[in-house]
């Protein structure tokens, strides 16, 4: 029985996407590569973060989620900071109708010059985890789309 893992997202099947691996046996995170070259301009107020495509989707148990976290070297070496600090991706994001569950990293660049991320560069990590709910939880809603869809009316 499948519990958690990675797959290539629809539309990226022929793009030479690598399934993430941990580099050491005690690593918490799976290293994620960029699916394509991406240029991240210097930060300007009011400008949206740049989404770096991974070409991946991930599945996990219904009481789990996965976090998209920055590489520890990105802020100091490349000026890159995740727009949402940590991305939380729910189990029901997998296979959604908007984008098949393709997860991406949203970065701001705080250096004065643009930063180019090349296909295959490690851009962040995924860490899987369980979550807990309160005794009187009554959530019954179901995801109807992709990124940001849980607050759609």
DSSP 12-79: -TTS-PPPPB-SSTT-SSEEEE-SS-EEEPBP-TTPPPEEEEEEEEEE--TTEEEEEEE-TTHHHHH-
- Report the chain's terminal Cα–Cα distance, integer Å: 35
Digit-coded pLDDT (tens) for 90-145 = 999 999 999 999 999 999 999 999 999 999 999 999 999 999 999 998 887 775 75
Q: Are residues 150 and 96 in contact, defined by beta-carbon separation less than 8 angstroms? A: no
Q: What are phi and psi of 105, to 5 degrees?
A: -105, 130
Q: What residue has token string 């994001």?
A: 93
The superfamily (CATH) of domain 5-132 is Deoxyuridine triphosphatase (dUTPase) (2.70.40.10)
100-118 b/e with 16+ CB inside 10 Å = b? bbbbbbbbbbeeeeebebe
**Tokens for 146?**
């992709």
pLDDT at 146 over 60: no
Give the global pTM: 0.89
Alpha-carbon distance of 47 to 58, in angstroms, equals 29
Confidence at 8, pLDDT banded by 50, 70, 90:
very high
* % the chain with pLDDT above 90: 88
Report the distance separating Cα 146 and Cα 153, nearest Å: 14
Angle at 142 between CA 101 and CA 32, to 5 degrees: 20
Residue 52: the pLDDT is 98
């Amino acid at each position: 029985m499948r519990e958690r893992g990675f797959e290539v997202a629809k539309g990226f099947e022929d793009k030479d996407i690598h399934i993430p691996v941990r580099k050491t046996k005690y690593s918490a995170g799976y290293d994620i590569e960029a699916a394509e070259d991406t240029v991240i301009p210097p930060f300007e107020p009011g400008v949206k973060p740049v989404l770096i495509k991974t070409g991946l989707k991930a599945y996990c148990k219904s009481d789990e989620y996965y976090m998209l976290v920055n590489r520890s070297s990105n802020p100091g070496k490349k000026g890159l900071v995740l727009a949402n600090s940590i991305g939380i991706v729910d189990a029901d994001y997998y296979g959604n109708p908007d984008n098949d569950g393709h997860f991406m990293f949203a970065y701001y660049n705080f250096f004065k010059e643009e930063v180019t991320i090349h296909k295959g560069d490690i851009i962040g990590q995924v860490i899987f985890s369980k979550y807990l709910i309160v005794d009187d939880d009554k959530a019954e809603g179901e995801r109807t789309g992709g990124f940001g869809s849980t607050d759609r009316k």
